[in-house]
Chains A and B, each alone.
Chain A
Amino acid sequence: MMLETSYYLVLAALIFTVGATGVLLRRNALIIFMCIEMMLNSVNLTLVALARQWGDLEGQIFVFMIMAVAAAEVAVGLAILIANVRHRKSINIDEINLLKW
Chain B
Amino acid sequence: MSWSLLFFLLVGAVSLAAALGVVTSRQPVHSALFLLTNFATLAVLYITLDAQFLAAAQVIVYAGGIVILILFVIMLIGGDTNDFSAAQRAWSRTVGIALGIILLLTVSYSVLARMTGPSEETAAHLQGGTPEAVGIALFTKYVLPFELIALLLLVALIGALVLGRQQEGAGEGIPSVKANE
Q: Shortest beta-carbon distance, A96 to chain B, in Å?
A: 12
Say whether B20 contacts A18, CB under 8 Å. Answer: yes
Interface of B (DSSP majority class):
helix
Q: In the bound complex, how far is the Cα of B99 from the Cα of A25, in angstroms?
A: 11
Q: Which of B61, B117, B119, B121 contacts A71 (CB 8 A)?
A: B61
Cβ < 8 Å to A, chain B residues 102-141: 103-104, 107-108, 111-112, 115, 117-126, 129, 133-134, 137-138
Q: CB-CB < 8 A to B99: which residues of A?
A: 20-21, 24
Q: Which residue of B lies closest to A34 (CB)?
A: B35
Say whether A9 contacts B112, CB under 8 Å. Answer: yes
Q: CB-CB < 8 A to B82: which residues of A?
A: 92
Q: In the bound complex, how far is the Cα of B120 from the Cα of A53, in angstroms?
A: 8
Q: CB-CB < 8 A to A7: which residues of B?
A: 5, 8, 12
Q: Which residue of A lies closest to B97 (CB)?
A: A21
Say whether B23 contacts A18, CB under 8 Å. Answer: yes
Q: Which of B46, B92, B174 contacts A25 (CB 8 A)?
A: B92
Q: CB-CB < 8 A to B70: which residues of A?
A: 30, 33-34, 74, 78
Q: Classify chain A: how many residues form its interface, as a range.
A: 35 or more
Q: Which of A46, A55, A65, A69 contacts B125 (CB 8 A)?
A: A55
Q: CB-CB < 8 A to B111: which residues of A?
A: 6, 9-10, 13, 46
Q: In the bound complex, how far is the Cα of B29 from the Cα of A76, in angstroms?
A: 20
Q: Mark B1-33, 1 if CB is under 8 A from A, else 0.
A: 010110010001001100110110100100110
Say whether B16 contacts A15, CB under 8 Å. Answer: yes
Q: In the bound complex, how far is the Cα of B111 from the Cα of A42, in angstroms?
A: 13
Q: Which residue of A lies closest to B83 (CB)?
A: A28
Q: Which residue of A lies closest to B21 (CB)?
A: A18
The 8 A-B residue pairs whose C-beta atoms are closest, nearest first, are A55-B125, A21-B100, A72-B156, A24-B96, A22-B23, A55-B122, A79-B163, A79-B160
Q: Could you give 28 example pairs across A and B, Cβ below 8 Å?
A: A5-B118, A6-B115, A11-B15, A11-B16, A13-B104, A21-B97, A28-B80, A30-B28, A30-B31, A31-B31, A48-B49, A54-B122, A55-B121, A55-B122, A56-B126, A58-B137, A60-B51, A60-B54, A63-B51, A64-B57, A65-B145, A74-B69, A75-B69, A75-B156, A75-B157, A79-B160, A79-B163, A82-B73
